[in-house]
A and B are shown apart, each in its own frame.
Chain A
Amino acid sequence: MPRRRAKSSLPLRAELVCYPCLLSAAACGSMYTQALDNEGRPVPAAAGEGEERAVRFQARIDADEKIEPKDWMPEAYRQTLIRQISQHAHSEIVGMLPEGNWITRAPTLKRKAVLIAKVQDEGGHGMYLYSAAETLGIEREEMFRQLLAGAAKYSSIFNYPTLTWADVGAIGWLVDGAAIMNQIPICRCSYGPYARAMVRICKEESFHQRQGFEIMLTLARGSREQRAMAQDALARWWWPSIMMFGPSDADSKHTAQSMRWKIKRFSNDELRQKFIDVTVPQAQFLGLSIPDAQLRWDEGTQHYLIGPIDWAEFHAVLKGHGPCNRERLEARRAAHEAGLWVREAAAAHAAKQRARTAQVA
């Protein structure tokens, strides 16, 4: 049996620019990268890249060694990570928008300062992640281009509107809570730069979740109107948060490969269940009701069981038909275009300084 097939003996680096492939290939992350579950065909596995190297690579992964940027890696591993990390980065950046909506209207100066800090963190998380993705050979501007062109995906959750102040609380509590549940295992991801970025991010997310819960608690203990506002926010954010974990395991085709590569450590449904189990008692503490008539504690499994998830809604939002998809991308494009003169001026200034230094030298 031939060890190598000529067909796919692509040069390692040349494939990096194979963007159609990059966008359609699939492997499974979830959460901020949930689109990975839904995109077409998987990248063909390592055939032609040298089985021996592939075997050695898998052995390193199995031994819990970390993979670093300059190490050899299967092209499918590289492309999977590029997609997962860039989608994750886009989610952080787009995620600034729904919350940024409330900075000017935060109810107190303290809340405003906290919200600014949180939104700034999201921007920082995007920066850590774009940097991590760049170590795999994709340029940052290419990632921006994909996002602004609507070609890249980001988490469906950010296509829902923030209608009231309570939504800021619900986002911190539920959305960031779900994100933490997903991201803590990624701190042990096999790819070093991604794992390191996630460690930083997880430390910061904890503040986000707690400040969100505190907003909900304040409202829940407030006037009747405030309680109603908190209840309304939970009613609107519960299901979208549950959907953040991505399709159910039965429909998540690429979990197995991502698990073998230790990019992913738990399945979508496992993480979703963990989130539900920790969040239901928190809602009870707040005295708010979760919008699911079928929700119940199951003695047998020691888990809370939920009613059916509306996957049609999930897929529609992911495909761009959510309440705010167009608005989010327009806001990103406008910000990018409005910042163009600043980027150009800074580059021109740097070039002038370099020229002067060269003259003096």
Chain B
Amino acid sequence: MSNDWPLFEVFIRSRAGLEHKHVGSLHAADARMAVEHARDVYTRRLEGVSIWVVRSADITASDPGEAESLFEPARDKVYRHPTFYAIPEEVKNL
């Protein structure tokens, strides 16, 4: 049963020039089968030109509980955005 079939996460590039994007997951015996299944499950209507699969167990994710300490520090660094800097209107092309 799927007991022996690990879970894979599927990433699809919808067309050349765009990044691969996570679309979902599926079970397969190995990576090759995962690509074949991904093609049947996630690209029945030309949704992609390229497929990546990766075993879900191999993904290391950040902990939502730590989201604040991870991402909060960026909140008060507005000087990282161009709109932080006041430039006189008559100055062009800046």
Q: Are A346 and B29 also in contact (CB < 8 A) when A68-B64, A127-B41, A144-B1 are?
A: yes
| A128-B63 in contact (CB<8A) | no
Most buried by B among A139, A197, A354: A139
Q: Which of B25, B27, B44 contacts A121 (CB 8 A)?
A: B44
A128 to B24, CA, bound (A): 7
Q: Which of A70, A139, A140, A196 contacts B61 (CB 8 A)?
A: A70
Q: Are A127 and B3 also in contact (CB < 8 A) when A68-B64, A121-B44 are?
A: no
Provide the B15-52 mask, 1 if CB < 8 A to any CB of A, else 0.
00000000011110110010000001100110000000
Tell yes or no: B7 within 8 A of A by CB: yes
Q: Are A346 and B33 also in contact (CB < 8 A) when A68-B64, A141-B1 are?
A: yes
Tell yes or no: B69 within 8 A of A by CB: no
Min CB gap A147→B, angstroms: 13
| A131-B26 in contact (CB<8A) | yes
| B4-A347 in contact (CB<8A) | yes
| B44-A128 in contact (CB<8A) | no
| A124-B30 in contact (CB<8A) | no
Closest residue of A by beta carbon distance from B62: A70
Tell yes or no: A214 within 8 A of B by CB: no
Provide the A132-170 mask, 1 if CB < 8 A to any CB of B, else 0.
101000011100100000000000000000000000000
Tell yes or no: B2 within 8 A of A by CB: yes
A70 to B60, CA, bound (A): 12
- B44 cross-chain contacts in A, Cβ below 8 A: 117, 120-121, 124
Tell yes or no: A349 within 8 A of B by CB: yes
Most buried by B among A71, A121, A204, A347: A347
| B4-A343 in contact (CB<8A) | yes
| B1-A124 in contact (CB<8A) | no
| B1-A346 in contact (CB<8A) | no
Min CB gap A77→B, angstroms: 15
Most buried by A among B2, B26, B44: B2
Q: Is the interface of B mostly helix, strand, loop or mixed?
A: mixed
Interface residues of A, CB < 8 Å — how many? 30
Q: Are A347 and B25 also in contact (CB < 8 A) when A68-B64, A71-B64, A124-B44 are?
A: no
Q: Which of B26, B30, B33, B61 contacts A127 (CB 8 A)?
A: B26
Closest residue of A by beta carbon distance from B10: A131
Min CB gap B54→A, angstroms: 15
Q: Are A347 and B64 also in contact (CB < 8 A) when A128-B41, A131-B25 are?
A: no
Q: Which of A121, A128, A196, A346 contacts B5 (CB 8 A)?
A: A346
- A121 cross-chain contacts in B, Cβ below 8 A: 44
Min CB gap B59→A, angstroms: 11
Closest residue of B by beta carbon distance from A345: B29
A326 to B29, CA, bound (A): 31
A141 to B7, CA, bound (A): 12
| A343-B1 in contact (CB<8A) | yes
- B7 cross-chain contacts in A, Cβ below 8 A: 134
- B4 cross-chain contacts in A, Cβ below 8 A: 343-344, 347, 350-351
Min CB gap B64→A, angstroms: 5
Min CB gap B55→A, angstroms: 12
| A124-B27 in contact (CB<8A) | no
| B5-A131 in contact (CB<8A) | no
Q: Which of A117, A140, A196 contacts B27 (CB 8 A)?
A: A140
A139 to B1, CA, bound (A): 11
Q: Which of B5, B26, B63, B65 contacts A347 (CB 8 A)?
A: B5
Provide the B62-86 mask, 1 if CB < 8 A to any CB of A, else 0.
0111000000000000000000000
A70 to B62, CA, bound (A): 10
Min CB gap B37→A, angstroms: 8
- A141 cross-chain contacts in B, Cβ below 8 A: 1-3
Tell yes or no: A353 within 8 A of B by CB: yes
- A350 cross-chain contacts in B, Cβ below 8 A: 4, 29-30, 33
**Chain A to chain B contacts (Cβ below 8 Å), 20 pairs:** A70-B61, A72-B65, A117-B44, A120-B44, A121-B44, A124-B41, A128-B24, A134-B7, A134-B25, A197-B24, A340-B1, A343-B5, A344-B4, A346-B5, A346-B33, A347-B5, A349-B30, A350-B30, A353-B30, A354-B30
Residue numbers of B with Cβ under 8 A of A are 1-5, 7, 24-27, 29-30, 33, 40-41, 44-45, 61, 63-65
